[in-house]
Structure formats: C-alpha cells, structure tokens
Structure 1
Amino acid sequence: MAQMGRPRTFDRDAAITQAMHLFWEQGYDSTSLSQLKANIGSGISAPSFYAAFGSKEALFKEVMERYLNSHGKVTDSLYDPQLPAREAIETTLRRSANMQCETGHPRGCLVALGLMSACTPQTLAICAPLAEARARNRAGFIACVERGINTAELSEHTDPVALATVFESFLLGLTTLARDGVPHEVLDAAITQIMRVWDAARA
C-alpha cells in the first residue's frame, strides 16, 4: 500500500497571514521565495511551499483575497447607500487612516504598496487584483459624489470625477504618510481639512 504523504508542519491559514505581512512590508517584487519560505511558520522547505501554495504568484493572489476581505473592507462605506454621501467618504478615509496606523501589521495599505513597479505582460495577473481594488474604490468615490449631486447636497455644476479624484488621491497619499510614521492624529486632522473641499462644493 502506498505511503501517505508527510503531513504539513505549519498552519496554512497562519502562513497566509505571515506572507501577507511580508508582501505588505516589502512589496511583491522585493519579497523573494527564500524570504517567504523562511518566514512561514518556523521555516518550510521548497517542496512544502509548492505543495501548499503552488507558486509565489498563487500565494500573492490568496494574500490579496485575505487582505481585501479583512483590512481592505475599510472602504466598504463607499458602497453603503444608507449613508449620506459625505459621511460615506469621510468614514472610508477615517477607517483607512486608522487601519494603516494600527499595530500588529505593517503600516500603510497593501493595495497601494503591493506592486510598486509598472505592470508588464508577465505581471498582469499579479497586478490585476490590485488594479481591480483601486478601480473599485475609484468607482465608489465617483458614485458618492454623483449621489451628492443627485440629492442636491452638492452643486449641480460639480465635476464628479474631479471631486472624486481629490478624495481618491488623498486616500492613496495616506499610505506614504503612514509608512513614513506620520502619527494617526495628524492624518485624522488632515481628513477634517480635506472634507472641507466637499463643503466648498455644496449646493
């Protein structure tokens, strides 16, 4: 009778979190396979890594799914029609700033930091979940501004894409500031300031 394969000596669920933190800290390109193997559990062999995850690319896809279904949910308020449009945007920005400054994981946002180099034909599959997440947030900001116009909260002359881009740019900029160690209270105060752009466009 054939022998059963050797059981894994690591917690796969915990391993994905460990890999997520490594990709989050260093980005996809700078995270080597040897670093991943060394940082998963107490270290695993190459055969164990490939048996568990298939490849670095496949592991990164799982990492992004984990991130978007946990830390990445800070932007969910953009898609909540029960929230007033202004509140939806402000809530997203404040939740994101808080998450990006939390202890227990790297500072900043994995969606913004995950792949810093330009996408090439070879890395399109790796870029895809990051680009899709950013596009979804962009659409969420635009939808909030359009809702503000439709409810007469904003002037009918407001350019939805232009105003949404102000908030999206601010959201992406939080990542650099958080990574540089800017205190959360400074980022939170800056959110109060950026929301005045919305107030200036009121009907």
Structure 2
Amino acid sequence: MAQMGRPRTFDRDVAITQALHLFWEHGYDATSLSQLKASIGGGITAPSFYAAFGSKQALFNEVMQRYLNTHGRVTDSLFDTALAPREAIERTLRCSAKMQCEAGHPKGCLVSLGFLSASTEESKTISQPLADARALNRAAIVACIERAIAAGELPATVAPAALATVFDSFMLGMSVLARDGATFETLDAAITHVMGVWDGLRIDAPMKDPAAI
C-alpha cells in the first residue's frame, strides 16, 4: 500500500505573499531559491518547495497573478469608461502613488520595476506578462485621451500617444522615487502639477497673459 505524502506544514496563501514580497524587493534574477526556501513558512526543504510550487518560474508566475489581481488593480480606473477621461488618469496616478508608498510591502510597483533589466533568457521569457501589463496601461491612457478629444475637451491637435507618454512615464518614474524613499505626500503633490499639463491643453483653458510669462 502506497504511503501518503507528508502534509504541508505551511499556509500556501501566506507563502505566496511571502514570495511576492521577495520578488518585489529583489527582482526575479536576484531572488535565489535559497532565499525563497528560507522565507516561505519560516523555512522549507527543497522537496517541499518543488512539491508545492513546481519551480521558481512557476512560483513567480503565480506571484505575478497575485500582484496583478491585488496591488496591480490601482490602474482599474483607466478602463472605466464611466469616468471622465481626466478623472480616470488622475485617479489611477493617485491610487498608484498611495499603493507604492504604503507600509506592509516593498516600495514601488512590481509591474514598473520588475525585469526592466532581465539578464537571462528565462527571466526575459517570464517577464513578458509584466511588459504586457505596462503596454495595456499605456494603451488605456491613450484611449482616455482619445475619448477626451472626441468629446471636445482636448483639441484635435493633441497627439494621444505623445500625451499618454507624459502620464505613463510619470507613473513608471514614481516607482523609482518611491523605492528611493519619496513620500506619498510628495508624489501626490507632483501629480497635481502633472495634471496641469492636461488642464493647459483643454479647449476651454483660460488664455495666459503674455505679460505674466
């Protein structure tokens, strides 16, 4: 009669969160199997690790989905067409800044920071979903700007891709600033300024007094 395997001695859901924080803090390449085994459940053996997760790559894939379905949802406003385009972008930026600076997990954004300098073929392959997530957010910002142009809020002379790059690059840059210790208050104030780019382009924007320039 075959013996049943030993039951897991750790909470798998908690283990995914622990692995998420390691990958978020150090990146895929720099997070070693030894670090993962030592951190998960207070320490597990290699057989237990492979039985539970299959491989480091499989674990990261699971971690990535956890991130996109939780912390990564700060960009949901971009896809909500019930929101005014400007509000959708501003809400996303402020929610992202808050998430990136809050306690309880590493600073910054895994989607922005993860694999920007992937060094192995393995990491390049599994980094594609993060690149896809960034591209999806970028396309959603473009769509918001196109909606604003169609509604007559922004002039037809605005290039959607170019203006979207302003907001997208700001959102990506916040990750580096948050990782370097920038506070939410600092980033939140900066968002007010960057949204001024949109306000200055509005068709109903007040004319500037040339003497004040």
Which of the five TM-score ranges fits, normalised by the shorter chain? Answer: over 0.9
Q: Is the 8 A contact 1:101 1:183 kept in 2?
A: yes
Unpaired stretches in structure 2, ≥5 consecutive residues:
204-213
SS in 2 for 1:41: helix
In the alignment, what sits opposite 1:96? 96
In the alignment, what sits opposite 2:177? 177
SS in 1 for 2:41: coil
In the alignment, what sits opposite 1:198? 198
Deviation at 1:121, TM superposition (A): 4.1
Opposite residue 128 of structure 1, the aligned amino acid is Q
Q: Is the 8 A contact 1:21 1:105 kept in 2?
A: yes
Cα deviations across residues 140-177 of structure 1 (Å, max 9, x unaligned)?
A: 11011111101111011100000000000000000011
CA distance in 1, matches of 2:55, 2:89: 37
In the alignment, what sits opposite 2:130? 130
Q: Is the 8 A contact 2:20 2:63 kept in 1?
A: yes
Opposite residue 167 of structure 2, the aligned amino acid is F
Opposite residue 29 of structure 2, the aligned amino acid is D
CA distance in 2, matches of 1:15, 1:125: 24
In the alignment, what sits opposite 1:2? 2
Q: Which residues in structure 2 correspond to 1:29-178 (within 5 Å)? A: 29-118=29-118, 121-178=121-178
CA distance in 2, matches of 1:201, 1:120: 43
Unpaired stretches in structure 1, ≥5 consecutive residues:
none
Deviation at 1:125, TM superposition (A): 2.7
CA distance in 1, matches of 2:162, 2:121: 30
Larger Rg: 2
Deviation at 1:119, TM superposition (A): 6.4
Q: Percent identity?
A: 68
Q: Is the 8 A contact 1:119 1:127 kept in 2?
A: no
Q: TM-score, normalised by structure 1?
A: 0.97
Deviation at 1:128, TM superposition (A): 1.2
What value does the CA root-mean-square deviation take over the aligned residues?
A: 1.1
Q: Is the 8 A contact 1:111 1:133 kept in 2?
A: yes
Opposite residue 82 of structure 1, the aligned amino acid is A
Opposite residue 180 of structure 1, the aligned amino acid is D
Deviation at 1:115, TM superposition (A): 1.5
- The size of the alignment, in residue pairs, is 203
In the alignment, what sits opposite 2:209? none
CA distance in 2, matches of 1:64, 1:137: 16
Q: Is the 8 A contact 1:107 1:178 kept in 2?
A: yes
Deviation at 1:122, TM superposition (A): 3.5
